[in-house]
A and B are shown apart, each in its own frame.
Chain A
Amino acid sequence: MRDLDSGGRPEQAPAPSEGGGEADDATFSDGEPVPVDQDTAESAALELGAYLAAEAFAAGTLEMPRVPEPGGSGAPPLLEGAGVAIDGTWEGSPLGEGGERLPGSVASPTDADVLAERIRRLERFVATPRPLRIAAGGSRETGRSLLLERRVVAVVLLAVVVLVSVPSLGLDWLAPAVSLPNGYPAGPAMMHDTLRAVGAGDRALLAFEYGPAQADEMALVAGPVIRQLASQGAEVSVASTRPDGLVAARDVLHDAASEGAMPLAEAERIAEDGAYRPGDATGVARLLELGEKPDAIVVIASGFGPLRRWIEQARAIGAPIPVVAATSAAIESVAAAYSSRDSGSLAGYVSGVSGAAYYERIVDGTSDGPAARRLSVLAAGNIAIVLLLVAGAAADLLSRTRAKLSKGR
């Protein structure tokens, strides 16, 4: 076994195939995502196939080459299907029935060999970076046009956001007049009703599952929730399965204190007493075991995974603890599924800037809160995106038509 005897050092992945030099340079210098060519896709698929084959072999579901009969041809039997991927891996170092070495024969691998091979395959599959190369039909033009498109989109969005969000420029009249419609969507209304039951002395556990990078959106969503709980005299505690979750919690609590929702010392104490446990579902289960059972759980999450884990683990402990969520707009559709009237997994949710604006109006009774003030900018940005999509589609249609016409000539 060549690699196993040499200490199991993973083999280096094969170098990119011919013609990769210039193409690689183009790819990495521009940093553009480019179509993967067939060679790369095939080699990645083979690599995955090799790993899966090693897994299947280790699980005993794949037949490995047998030790040939003494006097036989000595050629290892052919493998089929996924076995092709590991054909040639198990080189001969074999002994015959009498302990004699059989030339060209194949060893019967031991469990240790299997394990080492499995690890080697996994390491190679996971650790080896696969350089992307420009497809055979592609060129630097593709990269340039993508870069141009990216710049146009970014400049347009930046211009819209700057013009609309900087009132000191005196250009806020450019913003479309956006106001919230009357009435409330089901999610925020349900959430408010659920949290209204958390009164003085009741314990509300706030799970902060986002980091500083997502704070621009999540702080807007979390703010009114904390203000509501503080105004009702609920005993708030914070927890997270992310190392930076408690930093985000501290910032939001400080903001709430600066707005007068709670004393600064109280905000400091809550942040100091925050609990952190790593380990995804296991971490959530450990956090739910800490202290006395909460009367409500508020999951403040920017991603779907943490939200799902908190909902699931709160159900798994068997106690009927109401769970509500304050989420990013990106996972609103997922939160809505959990919040349907029949599933009952989520007793309400708010998501994104518009959800936060609704919740501000319910809690604070104002339509001019921090989230509501951003609705105009969000609306202007959305309009700009739609216009960009239409312009892009029109340009694409035009270029296709032109290409067809030139072909016809």
Chain B
Amino acid sequence: MPYWGVSIEEVGNVVGVVLTLMVFSYLIGRNPAYRLALHLFLGASTGFFFGVVCWEILILRLGVPLFVGRRYLSLVPLVLGLLLLVKAFPRAAHLGNVPVGLLAGAGAAVSLAGALLGTLVPLVDATARAAAPSSWAAEPLGWVDGLLAVAGAACTLVAFRHIGRRGPDGRAGCTWPGRALGKVGRWFLVVAFGAMFGGAVSTALTFLMGRVDYIAGFVRGLF
């Protein structure tokens, strides 16, 4: 809806461009404009999250069933939520352990089943299959892929082995095969982290392109 001939979208665009330039001003060092933009972003995000959680959870998922639908079972999460709040008061903080325990227990149970069925078993299975020569024919140089997968997984696991036997000189350490495999595993880790860093750089460049496009579009719109 336009106010004084200016639509809310146009105001939003101007504010967006100004805030983007304020963030870019970090290039000349930390300055009040950058800090203001940062605080505005954090404040707006927190306020928005608070509003969404209040509406979606406290009102729609708790208040409406309890006070409109008369579903008194909703009192249970309400009480548990209030118990969580008393964590702020040291003398009664122990009462908050009940909901904390429930949250931790339920979260761990849900995560554990998923981690086993969705990550651990399929990835171990995939690594084991990669070692089988029958799977190498599926694609060209499949044996290289398979050997890299198996060697990478094994050596990386060895790299995290921190148990050693104490030698006659009193120093604890791994045997030489363990040390050698661990070093190879660390190189696998370095390559994996390098690949992830490359991806992160690509993502950052995409963000930069997006912001430049946004400002360029705004400037083009002025003329």
The residues of A with any CB-CB pair to B shorter than 8 Å are: 7-9, 29-31, 112, 115-116, 119, 147, 150-151, 154-155, 157-158, 161-162, 165-166, 168, 214-217, 220, 243-244, 276, 278-282, 285, 302, 308-309, 311-316, 328-334, 337-338, 340-345, 351-353, 374, 377-378, 381-382, 385
Residue of A nearest to B61 (CB): A277
Q: Which of B49, B110, B117, B129 contacts A285 (CB 8 A)?
A: B110
Neighbouring A residues of B119 by C-beta, 8 Å: 308, 311-312, 345
Kindly report which residue of chain A lies nearest to residue B207, judged by CB atoms.
A216
Q: Which of A9, A166, A281, A343 contacts B122 (CB 8 A)?
A: A343
Q: CB-defined interface of B47-80 with A at 8 Å, one 1/0 digit per residue? A: 0110011001100000000000000000000000
Check: B203 CB closer than 8 A to any chain A CB: yes
> Chain B: which residue is nearest A334 at the CB level?
B196
> Which residues of B pack against A, CB within 8 Å?
27-30, 45, 48-49, 52-53, 56-57, 90-91, 93-94, 97, 106-107, 110-111, 113-115, 117-119, 122-123, 125-126, 129-130, 135, 138, 149, 192, 195-196, 199-203, 205-213, 216, 220
Cα distance A155–B28 in the bound complex, in angstroms: 11
A340: B residues at CB distance < 8 A: 126, 130, 149
Which of the listed residues B27, B91, B149, B202 has the most CB atoms from chain A within 10 Å of its own CB? B202
Q: Establish whether residues B122 and A352, one from each chain, have CB atoms under 8 Å apart when the complex forms.
A: no
14 contacts between A and B (CB under 8 A): A119-B93, A150-B27, A157-B208, A161-B212, A217-B210, A244-B48, A282-B110, A309-B111, A316-B117, A332-B195, A340-B149, A344-B126, A345-B119, A353-B206
Contact status B206-A8, CB under 8 Å: no
User: Are B29 and A343 in touch, CB under 8 angstroms?
Assistant: no
B199 touches A243 (CB 8 A): no
- Report whether over half of chain B's contact residues are helix, strand or loop; otherwise say mixed: helix
A353 and B110 contact, CB distance less than 8 A:
no
The distance from the CB of A11 to the nearest CB of chain B, in whole angstroms, is 13
Given A309-B111, A312-B114, A382-B201, 14 other A-B residues pairs in contact with their CB atoms under 8 A: A31-B29, A151-B27, A216-B210, A217-B206, A217-B210, A243-B49, A244-B49, A276-B52, A313-B114, A332-B199, A333-B199, A338-B123, A352-B206, A374-B209
Give Cα A282 to B103, complex, Å.
Answer: 9
Q: Which of B27, B53, B114, B126 has the most CB of A within 10 A?
A: B114
Q: B122 to A8, Cβ gap below 8 A?
A: no
User: Are A352 and B117 neighbours in the complex by a CB distance under 8 Å?
Assistant: no
B210 contacts A155, CB within 8 Å? no
